[in-house]
Structure 1
């Protein structure tokens, strides 16, 4: 491994069995073969096995920040755990240089019967810190984790947010050369997340290498140098994070699984077979949705809530209800359709989601919720989140 490289993953693969019983049987088989000096069958798949990570190679330089993104079940966390040494690859090799800190699962590395104080010393020792280092940084760790009142309480009584605060505080103050972070930071409150990213920025300036697993595309776009997109265990590198985010979003566009629909538990209305015009829009085009419904009783003065999100930005493009347009909507008993047209969308070159929620009067019951990823195409020769229609006119006075 070159001196400027922190992590090298060389043609790594990891397989699992789909059923626990089968996995245990294969484990006993592999153990028996190893005891007898017979090579285990790691190169091929046995019945009911699949490649969770399949022939992945990547090289992360010292000080780089990289995001592993992809749908659930694509192999992100498995790859992260192999980099951390929790799992061994079935094929290939992984090399990591320096002290590694990891936040991969809430509560990982903590003994539930020991106190927060005791777990700080145990967890710090696991991360390679000496007792003298831990003693010198103890107050800073406790202050960062904000658990002073519960420092001598067994951690089995901690909330998931307290686990994350303490785990991150220990890992960050170990001054790691490499920090691995799974989605666990999503458990913390907004204020603590901001505090964590500020600390991560400080570590990054000192040359710490980061590998982050996240579904928060705003976090990815604003923090990392490049992304690795995984799907079905296969990986593709994108040096431009926004290009990688776009490819990730298109996975949902290519698969109807990206359309999420929730019908409430209400017994008197059912929405079905959502119809929409298109999922790729140019600035100025309209987006139409038709919601067929079947009401067993009438719903008067319902509220239809529309929200448009940008995947690259935590802020909304727009949110409003039919009442903002002084439009009353009543659902009559029987079958009918609710048609919604979002007119003249002037969003320029973005990847977003459109959400529709239908509520009974005064929002006492949610009748329907639906979300779909949408691509907003960009206009040539223009930049920015929005496209502004501008008229040009020229006249000659001679």
Structure 2
């Protein structure tokens, strides 16, 4: 391990044994491994990388790609099946909610407990406690058992401890997604302060703007392997393009399956009803656009030849961000527009979007005229990205919840 490396991971592999039945574990023990009663699942496979002191690195990838397993191996919570992890300095980690906290202890007691685990002496925790309590800002709940805390209070206290114990390495796994906006801004300000003092930060998140704006490097995991490692904007762009290709393949597969709509009917009455109308294809006219740009979503519908559509229906469109938060809903029914089977192609046009920079997913559904049930639903049928803009000083032009068109006058 080089002297300037904060984290060194070499050929790291983690394999789990998956047993089909609890009794299979006993059988496996009695046979001394001669007979196999399990299958193996490899969560991480031969992962290697180094992170220098003072670097901020983002770990990205879809759910199940091995991100959280990697962090738990780095923190020593899990033991690797093979390979090694070496760390220089004190590690402060914020993983899943409640990790390392005793639910029967009060918030105050857990602060002292966590500080002791990180190697701080009592007087050192005493000196930091006021700062930790102020940062968490949970009031009198600091002296209540943490088992009664909400998820937001949990994160506030855990992050307050993590960022105020002067760590050499800070590891954060999606924690900021739980807190409110004011707390998120406070946390990011504190993490930027740690950046400026040379703290190494490892951040797992699904937010591509956060990785691009906050991290110098990014590591993209997929299926337990490192797909790409390098500067954050390049890796984020590659990951998003890969995701878009997956969406296109899913959309094409769906289109092909609907071409055999009648042949796929099994006779089940409910299934047949749901396929009277189907979303055959979805596309975005411009997959990369700026704030205020024109967004056009195109949808193609397909109708069952055996069951004519005798009533009007509606098309609904939902847009979510990368964290799964619903950003906008559109529906022809809401706009008093009722469709018939003469409509096979329909476009949703947004002449000037007010979405913040980031990656967005489009889902669609076809519903009855009363919006009571869906004939068909197509989750994540398309995606688009609103690109970042920066001032001449390198400051992001857009931050917050909504990007509003505006002018300045003086």
**Which range, TM-score by smaller chain?**
0.7 to 0.9
**Aligned residues: CA RMSD:** 4.5
State the Cα distance separating 1:331 from its structure 2 match. 4.2
For 1:308 and 1:153, locate their aligned partners in 2 and report how far apart those are by CA, in whole Å: 36
Which among 211, 225, 230 is matched to residue 202 of structure 2? 211
1:259 and 1:370 in contact (8 A); partners too: no
1:291 maps to 2:282: no
Aligned with 2:46 (options 55, 64, 81): 55
Does the C-alpha gap of structure 1 residues 28 and 164 become closer, same or farther in structure 2, counting only changes over 3 Å?
Answer: farther
Deviates more, 1:239-248 or 1:267-276: 267-276
> Could you tell me how far apart the structure 2 residues matched to 1:207 and 1:321 are?
50
Residue of structure 2 equivalent to 1:113 = 104
Provide the rounded CA distance (Å) in 2 between the counterparts of 1:98 and 1:28: 40
1:12-31 equivalences under 5 Å are 12-19=12-19, 25=25
**What does residue 371 of structure 1 align with?**
380
Q: What residue ranges of structure 1 are gaps of 5+ in the alignment? A: 34-44, 379-384, 386-398
The equivalent residue for 2:262 is none
Q: How does 1:269-288 map to 2 (within 5 A)?
A: 272-276=278-282, 287-288=297-298
TM-score (norm 2): 0.71
Which residue is equivalent to 2:131? 140
2:361 pairs with 353, 378, 383, which one? 353
Superposition deviation, residue 138 in structure 1: 0.7
Q: Provide the C-alpha distance between the structure 2 equivalents of 1:373 and 1:230, rounded to a whole number of angstroms.
A: 22
Q: Normalising by the residue count of structure 1, what TM-score does the alignment of the two structures yield?
A: 0.73
Take 2:326 and 2:100, find their aligned partners in 1: how far apart are those partners? 35
How has the CA–CA distance of structure 1 residues 27 and 69 changed in structure 2, closer, same or farther, with 3 Å as cutoff? farther
The one-character-per-residue Cα deviations of 1:248-271 (angstroms, maximum 9, x if unpaired) are 22333343598699xxx9x98665
Gaps of 5+ in 2: 255-269, 388-396, 398-410
Decide whether aligned partners of structure 1 residues 258 and 135 sit closer, same or farther in structure 2, where only a CA change above 3 A counts: farther
1:393 — aligned with what?
none
Which residue pairs with 1:42 in the alignment?
none
Inter-partner Cα distance in structure 2 for 1:110 and 1:46: 35
What per-residue deviation string (whole Å, max 9, x for no partner) do you get for residues 2-23 of structure 1?
2211000011111112337579
1:170-193 CA-to-partner distances (Å, cap 9, x unmatched) read 111111000111113212222212
Q: How far did residue 319 of structure 1 move?
A: 7.9
